[in-house]
Amino acid sequence: MAHFAKIVNGIVEDVIVIEPEDLNDYLDNNLLHQIDPGQWIQTSYNTRGGVHYDPSTGEPSADQSLALRGNFAGKGFHYDEDLDAFYCSKNHPSWTLNTTTFTWEPPIAKPDGNYQWDEDAYQADNTTGWVAGPDLT
């Protein structure tokens, strides 16, 4: 199956699935644009964090040239035309986009254990950001 994301102003508006037997017809006859005009970009269900995963094993594929556009596109994801990649919305103002994995990273590495990010704590002194989460035992 092939997946295509409809992009409007850099945001994924929809993702559709095209069966393999229909793919050539869609591509050769430009059917996506006839059905719903706009920018359609292919996305890979098996790509996340910049890595392609083998669908039969769930392990990273031997052939990483199969990795497509950073992440599988979801509704509301961003599509960056310059990076040719999909990534989710930024949840914390202080985090930065890793342009290899196309995931957001905190300014301070997460310590081992159950911690949650606290943007207010980070903004207060730029040295604290992780706070102990609830005890899960």
31 is a domain residue: yes
pTM of the model: 0.83
pLDDT of residue 119: 94
CA separation for the pair 108, 92 (Å, rounded)? 12
Position 13 in a domain: yes
Q: Is the pLDDT of residue 36 over 80?
A: no
Residue range(s) defining the domain that contains residue 31? 2-89
Q: Does 12 reside within a domain?
A: yes
Residues facing residue 43 across a β-bridge: 3
Residue 67 lies in a domain: yes
Average pLDDT, the chain: 89
What is the rounded distance in angstroms from the CA atom of residue 105 to the CA atom of residue 63?
26
DSSP 112: S
- Alpha-carbon distance of 64 to 59, in angstroms, equals 11
Number of folded domains that form the chain: 1
Residues 16-38: what's their mean pLDDT? Answer: 70
- The residue type of 71 is N
Percentage of the chain modeled with pLDDT above 90 = 70
